[in-house]
Amino acid sequence: MMNVQRLPAEQQYQQQLNALREADTFAKPVGWQLSPKMVRTFILGSDQPIAGQTITRKIYGNDAAVERAIVTLLGQQGLLLVGEPGTAKSLLSELLTAAISGNSTLTVQGSAGLFEENIRYSWNYAALLKSGPTLEAMVPGPLYQSMKNGAIMRFEELTRCPTEVQDSLIPVLSDRILHVPEIQNEQNYLLSQPGFNIIATANLNDRGVNQISSALKRRFNFETLKPLAQRKDRIELVLGQVNDRLEHDDIGLRLDQDTATLLVTVFDELKSGTVAGIAIDSPSTLLSVPEAINLAVHAAMQCHYFGEQAITPAHLATYLQGAVIKDNQKDEACLQDYLRVIKRKRSDDPLWQSFLEGCRNAGC
């Protein structure tokens, strides 16, 4: 496999996608590389190997939302995935495009500095000066390419870009046509091929940064991804993701079940503001599953590169301050409150002792 930091989903899961394609005997919509049933299996996994290949579960805890998302993409509306930060909106959008179009890289990243040209098409100025606005001088953007190839375009963080830029999607979603008014002697519009659609994501914490116009809202079907409700799913996800990353980076250490459970417990208790039945102030920081995964990966890196034998709660504690206290000093008091309760209630337990020792050494 290529030596890069991270592969797009269609390359990372190439073997699984090939096996699903081989075994796919179900009805397939025009322009789709897999049937909706196999897209679902790719994302939610399968108990039995398919064409000799294990199909792993990639999204946990939102099965009904995943199914509805696939069905939305069969229709004429776009799909808008909304939810708290870290609820796998971007991951689901990448997996859907990898499975349906075989390409998850036709992506626009929403930001305040995004212009319409970054989405639809722009011009090669040397060619423009030489031959005027022709198809040859045009530089197709992700939207143009997706419409032309009948693929799905991803629009990340839709609400971070200005409303008027968002609204440039309206004619495309309703009439499935992209006008290129600059072109004069050739066809100056593009009709989308079957298989084209748009998956956008929007973070609920960004609500109100740039409103989505009601006209655009009507052209998207909203699907909310929820944080994982089951504690055992959160633990399994942290364990699986951390150990996969360590394997990918050729690091021999592994996070064990007890240490992962302690980490998820710390995050849950700080987030909920209750520990051992006692109410504490909750920090303002977002303590999501991806934050826990990153914290554990940092602890593992420290152990590996500074020559330690195992990832212990003390190592996790070293990075807790960085995860909890970002730009609000009040969060420091919340963390100290929490640690005081842990000390009173759990200092008999060796795992929690190790955690408290790590916190002491880290100065919290």
Ligand X SMILES: Nc1ncnc2c1ncn2[C@@H]1O[C@H](COP(=O)(O)OP(=O)(O)OP(=O)(O)O)[C@@H](O)[C@H]1O
Q: Does 90 contact Mg ion by CB under 5 A?
A: yes
The yes or no reply on residue 70 touching ligand X (CB under 6 A) is no
d(CA 344, CA 335): 14
Cα–Cα distance for residue pair 26/30, rounded to 1 Å: 13
- Picked from Mg ion, ligand X, none, the partner binding residue 240 (CB below 5 to 8 A depending on kind) is none
- Residue 198 has phi, psi (to 5 degrees) of -130, 135
Residue 222 binding: pick among Mg ion, ligand X, none (C-beta 5-8 Å cut-off by kind) = none
Residues 289-308 that bind ligand X (CB under 6 A): 289-290, 293
> Among residue numbers 333 through 352, which ones bind ligand X (CB under 6 A)?
none
Residue 86 interacts with ligand X (CB under 6 A): yes or no: yes
Q: Which residue has the tokens 């700080």?
A: 270
Candidate ranges 42-50, 78-86, 147-155, 299-307; the one touching ligand X (CB under 6 A): 78-86
Pairing relation of β-strands 138-140 and 121-123?
A: antiparallel
338 residue type, one letter? Y
Q: Give bridge partners of residue 188 from the DSSP assignment.
A: none
203 binds ligand X (CB under 6 A): yes
Looking up tokens 């049933």 gives 37
CB 26 within 8 A of CB 94: no
Written as six digits, the tokens of 299 are 């602890």
Strands 197-203 and 78-83: parallel
Is the distance from CB of 91 to CB of 105 less than 8 angstroms? no
- State the nearest-atom distance from the C-beta of 72 to ligand X, in Å: 17
90 contacts ligand X (rule: CB under 6 A): yes
Q: Output the six-digit token pair for 289.
A: 């599953």
Question: Considering the complex, what minimum distance in angstroms separates the CB of residue 338 from ligand X?
Answer: 23
Report d(CA 304, CA 325) in Å as an integer: 25
CB of 65 or CB of 128, closer to ligand X:
65
What's the min distance (Å) between Cβ of 90 and Mg ion?
3
Number of residues that bind ligand X (CB under 6 A): 20
- Name the segment binding Mg ion (CB under 5 A); options: 7-15, 86-94, 289-297, 347-355: 86-94
Note whether 61 binds ligand X by CB under 6 A.
yes
Q: How far is the CB of 85 from ligand X (least distance, A)?
A: 3
Measured at the CA of 29, the angle between CA 119 and CA 135, to 5 degrees, comes to 35
Q: Which residue's CB is nearer to Mg ion, number 31 or number 290?
A: 290
Interface ranges with ligand X (CB under 6 A)? 59-62, 83, 85-91, 201, 203, 228, 237, 241, 289-290, 293
Interface ranges with Mg ion (CB under 5 A)? 90
